[in-house]
Every structure is written in structure tokens, then in C-alpha cells.
Amino acid sequence: MSENGKRKVKVSVNGLTKKFGDLLVLDDISFTVAEGELLCIVGPTGCGKTTFLNLLSRLIPPTRGNIMIDGEEADPKKHNISFVFQEPSCMPWRTVKENIAYGMEVKKVPRDELESRLKKIMDLVGLSDSADLYPNQISSSMEQRVAIARAFAVNPDLLLMDEPYGQLDVKLRYYLEDELVRIWRELKSTVIFVTHNIEEAVYLAERILVLSNKPTTVKAEVPVGLPRPRDFRDPEFVEIRKRVTDLIKWW
Amino acid sequence: MSDKPSSGNSKVLKILPYLSLLTVLAVWELIVDTGLVPNTLLATPAQVLKLFIYKLNHADPDGAVLIVHVLTSVGEALTGYILALLIGIPLGLLMGWFVVAEGLVRPIFEMIRPIPPVAWIPLAIFWFGIGLTGKAFIIWASGIVPCVINSFVGVRMTNPVYIRMARTYGASDWEIFRKICIPSALPMVFGGLQVALAASWTALVAAELIAADAGLGFLITMGRRLLMPDMIVLGMIMVGLTGVAIGIIIDRVEKRLVAGMRR
Ligand SMILES: Nc1ncnc2c1ncn2[C@@H]1O[C@H](COP(=O)(O)OP(=O)(O)O)[C@@H](O)[C@H]1O
Ligand SMILES: [Mg+2]
């Protein structure tokens, strides 16, 4: 399935560099993401994964280099970018349904289009029965699903996910990982999924970018061509997981 | 085990507050009746009650029936209070989000804030006389401070994740202010309403003590001038009761508003 050569380039990152004062965090990073690709980025804690996503979504400016989406400089006002944050991001004053609708409201999606997309996405993530509940009435895994539903609802050109399942227990994580793959296949979005969990990356990714320690560069690129649904015990799966683990252990 | 401070018979607990109130009233009545405290300095509860009933429909000796004093005070208080909310809350909210608003307003605000509102009374009399306008101004000046501060802090305490999320969807500063910062600040803003009310009510009574021709503070002043300790005490009690009543009403309104927004 690694057919990146044939697929259209969605995102291209060129010579991206970020310094905080004297601290060089990202050092001259370049790569491309194909349209509709599910790319995982793994790297040790503190290597700059969150910083990298913040740059991609223009929350902070790069020191050098640029990020192009469809050949244009990335811009949240122009491009359809969604970000699922590491921290819970449900607004407590909005119901589940209103939280999911937020991104579409900002994008000024017409009312009836918004309603029909809401219905579809809530069915997809299994939140239809909880539509009118408030965040303090639902579990943290449901909150994370709200964030994911909100992110997918805008039909993003680029979906950024920052260790979205880091805080959840293993069982829920497995469940939500499957859910992510299902939604991604159905909606054909381009996804960059950041994690420090290697197994999660091998389970999800079409391709894995392995980052080094600070100052961070792309250490290696590992295509994952396994068929889905994937099995953690499949020898090929274990083999790829070992390869990525060794890459991270290298230093 | 209960998490209450200590357990006891609930029926007994229910009577206790009444019991303690009755005791205070009885002791109060007794120390005046027995001459321990001269009646010229302190009125008995019975005298206050008698005056209360008398003042319900008699304008003399101070010039107005009780309800007129109450309504005068409430009218002045609400005028100033509502003006304080209308100006203070938007100002505080804007200062919390827009650096330009903060940069412009904050120095003035910080300069005026340390001046106790009652210190404005002489100037207010100078400018507006002893009518409603002057009093409304004093109350406005005392009520606006907590309104500004709470709204400002409420916006500043907005969880930055919500703001970042809004930005990644391409929301403008103004949209973030309206859809994220304001709803997020509302609980703090509502907290400020009660603080502002307490400040307003205190300032009002102080203003009326000094300059007025009606109102509860004026009733107290008249009691002093006419050497009527029962009128002083009646005025004090009415100030307390009216303050509590307004507080309860504001609390109700607030609860209803908050319930409409989140459960
Ligand atoms: N705003 C900032 N100012 C200064 N240093 C920062 C800032 N944001 C992140 N850093 C530093 O950049 C490095 C990478 O952080 P981060 O991107 O959060 O790592 P990760 O998400 O991979 O765990 C850390 O050393 C962190 O201290
Ligand atoms: Mg991080």
C-alpha cells in the first residue's frame, strides 16, 4: 500500500526549522504527505512533536522554512485544518452536538448541510444518543470522540492529531484506533497522527516518520504495508514494530 | 458516617436558629427595660416593631412612609448598579481579550480603583446635588470595579486549548472573543454581580447618610437628628432586610440564566 509515488502531494514541508530563543527544537525538516494518507509521527517526549503540529496549523510561526498545502502556504483561514489536541478540548458550555458543530460554524457551513453532516458524524462515532449531554456528563473517552468528530466534521484537508489517546486506558485506545481507521477510510481525509506509542503507530499508519532527539530531524521513514484490520501478533507487525523501536533506541 | 461537621437531632437543629434569635431579642429587651442601658441610647425591639407598624402608613416625623424610603433606596441602588453592569462587564470582557482595550483603560482604572467609592460623595453632591443622579453615580463607581475585575479575570482564565482550537479552524479574534471567551467568562461574571451588589448597597447607605431627602440612610440620619433611637434601629434593620431581598432576587435571576446555558 505504499503508493506515495503515485499519489497527489497534499502537504509539503520544506526545510522547517524552529528555535525557541537559543533552543533549537526542529532542525531543517522536509517531507511530503500524500492526499488521503494516514501518516504517523513517532518520537521521544520533548522532541518537538507538538511544536511541529503547532507550526503546521500556524499557531506559531516557523523560524525558517515553509509548509505548503495544495501548493499554497498553509493558512487556517484558507485551508481546512483540524487539530485534535493532547488535552481535552470540549467546551463545557456547549452540548456534545454543539461542540461537534463548532468547527463547521466557524467555517460558515450552511445550516441544513451542517445538520446533515452532524447527524452522519455522530452516527459514525456513536454519539447520537448523547447529543444533548454536556461534557461534564460524559466520560473522558466520549469527550475525545467529540473532539475527533468535531475535527472530521469540517471535512478537513488536513487532520492533525496530537497523542489524542495518550490519557486513555488500553481497551478504549484500541477501540478508538479502530474507529479512527474506519472514519478515515470513509471520509478519505489526510491525517497526521502524532504519538510516542510505537505499537499505536504501526497499527494505524500507512507510513511512519521517526523523529530523532532534539535538535529534531526525520531519522527514518518506515512504510507499513500491512492489510487491515491489523493484528498485533502478526509476525510482520511485530517485525515492523521492532524496526521502529530499534530506530528510536539508536542514540 | 456523615460528612457534615457533626451530627445531631435534626428537629432540634431546626429550632436552634429561632431559639438564638429569640434569646438575643429577649436579652436586648431586658437590658433596656431594666435600665441597664438607657432608653435614650437604645430602643427596645418592641418599640422598633411599634414604629415599624406606625411608619407603614404615617409620613411623620421624617416626611415619608416607610415604603417610600425603601423604594427610594432600591431605585437609586438599581439605577447605579445596572449602569455599572452595562458599562463594567463589556469593558472588563474587552480588556481581557483585546490588548488595545487593556492598554487604554487599565491605567485609568488602576488610578481610580484605590479611591474608596464613598470618597466620591462630596464631589458627587457638588456635581449632581442630593437627588437620584448623585447617588446613582456613587453606586455606579462602587459597582463597576468588581464588574470590570471579574469580567477581565474571567476572560483571562479561558482555557488556552479552546482558543487554539478555534484558531486552527480559522476563527477571527472577534469570533473567538464572542464564542469562546465570553461564555467561558460567564461564571466569573456572575460571581461579580453579587460582589458588586454588596459594594453598591454599602455605598448607597453611606451616601444617604450624608446627603438625601428620602431613603433608608436618610431615615437613620433623621432618627439621630430627632433623637429617636427606635428610628435609627428601624432604618438599620430595613437596610439589612432590603439588601438580603435584592441579593436573593439577583441570585434567582443568575441561577435561571446559568441554568439556561449549562446544567
Ligand atoms: N513556547 C515555548 N517556549 C519555549 N520552549 C518551548 C515552547 N514550546 C515548546 N518548547 C520546548 O520545545 C521542546 C519540544 O516541546 P514539545 O513540542 O511540546 O514536545 P513533544 O510534543 O514532542 O513532547 C521542549 O523542550 C519544550 O520545552
Ligand atoms: Mg506533545
B186 contacts A107? CB cut-off 8 A = no
Residue A42 pLDDT class (50, 70, 90 cuts): very high
Indicate the residue type of A50. T
A95 and A49 co-located in one domain: no
A113 and A136 co-located in one domain: yes
pLDDT in tens, A52-93: 999 988 899 999 999 999 989 988 888 889 999 989 999 999
A197 and A234 co-located in one domain: yes
A34 and A44 co-located in one domain: yes
In this predicted structure, the answer to whether residue A174 has a pLDDT above a threshold of 80 is: yes
In this predicted structure, the answer to whether residue B131 has a pLDDT above a threshold of 50 is: yes
In a domain, A84, yes or no: no
In this predicted structure, the answer to whether residue B26 has a pLDDT above a threshold of 50 is: yes
B86 and B215 co-located in one domain: yes
A206 and A225 co-located in one domain: yes
A56 and A162 co-located in one domain: yes
How many CB atoms lie under 10 A from the CB of residue B154? 25
Full DSSP string of B219-258: HHHHHHHTT-HHHHHHHHHHHHHHHHHHHHHHHHHHHHHH
Run of H or E residues at B15: helix B10-33
**Domain holding B116: CATH number?**
1.10.3720.10
Q: pLDDT: is A168 or B196 the higher one?
A: B196
A6 and A54 co-located in one domain: yes
In a domain, A85, yes or no: no
CA distance B186 to chain A (A): 10
Mean pLDDT on B141-149:
91
B19 and B56 co-located in one domain: no
In a domain, A215, yes or no: yes
The number of C-beta contacts closer than 8 angstroms across A and B is 60
B146 and B196 co-located in one domain: yes
In a domain, A9, yes or no: yes
B27 and B109 co-located in one domain: no
Residue that terminates a domain, selected from A155, A175, A204: A155
Residue that terminates a domain, selected from A107, A138, A155: A155
Q: pLDDT: is A185 or B7 the higher one?
A: A185
In this predicted structure, the answer to whether residue A4 has a pLDDT above a threshold of 60 is: no
How many domains does chain B contain in total?
Answer: 2
B171 contacts A93? CB cut-off 8 A = no
Indicate the residue type of B71. L
B34 and B52 co-located in one domain: no
> Residue B19 and residue B198: Cα distance in Å, rounded?
28
B53 and B160 co-located in one domain: yes
B9 and B120 co-located in one domain: no
Percent of chain B at pLDDT > 90 equals 41
> Residue A157 and residue A145: Cα distance in Å, rounded?
19
Residue A38 confidence (pLDDT)? 95
A75 and A174 co-located in one domain: yes
Residue A2 confidence (pLDDT)? 45
A143 and A162 co-located in one domain: no
Closest chain B CA to residue A96:
B262
Task: Write out the residue range of the structural domain in which residue B2 sits.
Answer: 1-42
B31 and B159 co-located in one domain: no
Task: Write out the residue range of the structural domain in which residue A96 sits.
Answer: 90-155
How many domains does chain A contain in total?
Answer: 2
CB of B160 less than 8 A from some CB of A: no
Residue of B159, B168, B178 to mutate when probing chain A, most A C-beta within 10 A: B168
Quote the pTM value.
Answer: 0.84
In a domain, A210, yes or no: yes
Residue B71 pLDDT class (50, 70, 90 cuts): very high
**Domain holding A53: CATH number?**
3.40.50.300
Percent of chain A at pLDDT > 70 equals 97
B187 and B64 co-located in one domain: yes
pLDDT in tens, B201-225: 888 888 888 877 888 999 999 998 8
Q: Which residue has the cell 495518550?
A: A166
A209 and A167 co-located in one domain: yes
Mean pLDDT on B45-54:
90
In a domain, A229, yes or no: yes
Sheet holding A38-42, edge to edge: A81-84, A158-162, A191-195, A38-42, A207-211, A218-223
Mean pLDDT on A39-54:
91
Residue B263 confidence (pLDDT)? 46
- CB of A49 within 6 A of ligand 1: the answer is yes
B89 and B23 co-located in one domain: no
Give distance in angstroms: CA of A39 to centre of ligand 1: 21
In a domain, A33, yes or no: yes
